Chains A and B, each alone.
Chain A
Amino acid sequence: MPRFSFIRASYILLCLLTLSPGALLAAPPEGYRFLPLTAAAEQASAANKPMLLYFGRYGCSTCRKMHAEVFSDTAVNKQYNTEFVLAYVDTESGNRIRLANGETTTEMQFATRSRILGTPTFIYFSPEQKPLFKKAGFQSIEQMARYGDFVAQGHYRTMSLQDYLASL
């Protein structure tokens, strides 16, 4: 099965430098400060903040459901807008991404090679730009809050996400 690996996710964060100027966001949730991936990675690095990378798709029904039922939550909004730098990639767009190794590719090809099977897919990164874990599909308000706490409060430094969730 396609797999998420820290090596692949490291590539995601560390290799990206700039997005083409014409790159536009397709459909991230309203009320959130989602940025193109490179700008988000640079901002996260400069601010020493964790980053949430959201792979979405224009018209994705599960994304819409999360926007309406989860991202609309005031606490989720406050937590993620305050404690995270937010990045959005449209998995079907032709927006170009320029990589640090000199390669220019599209968001769609980037998502393909990152083995993103479905949307939404969320990848959490530590302030040290280390990919921590991936979550695919619908996530509830409670789940998003707990994932956010696990990363933003630094629990990832001492335990796995599974252990953290079991401890609650």
Chain B
Amino acid sequence: MNFSGIAVAGLLVAGLSVSAQQINDAQIAAIVVTANQVDVDAGELAATRAANAEVRQFAQRMVTDHKAVNQSAIELATKLEVTPQENDTSRALKTGGEKNVAALKKLSGAAFDRAYVDHEVVYHAQVLEALDKTLIPNATNVELKALLVKVRPAFVAHLEHAKQIQASLKKEL
């Protein structure tokens, strides 16, 4: 794990611990939308900048999948007339995402690839933890809870895929 990965993980955990107790559906919606958007932003950068073709393909997959999940989340929020409400966790995610992209922009080649993939591993692990400990247990609307349960396996698949790429990049060192 690189430094930016640790920093982002710290931010995410800090945000989650603050709001875990009193989180509502509008706040959960904001967290879901932000969590997906920050990975779309990082993916869009990596899809063009990564040196390794497998990393570029993975990045493009993150853009496609997280955009699709966000579209479903926004459609559901609109249907339920829930306006996503910013909160400590969504703000921490946004700040973490911006810092990650800024840090990545300073890198290139294999260093960029490793930093991006390391961050993806941390990010997906943290979002899974948030889904399991905070978002799914606290979602009160049945459809919102069902959406979170439905997307969870995609985050698991992304995490495992990122770990596989992380391992293959280490072998190239």
A and B assemble together? no
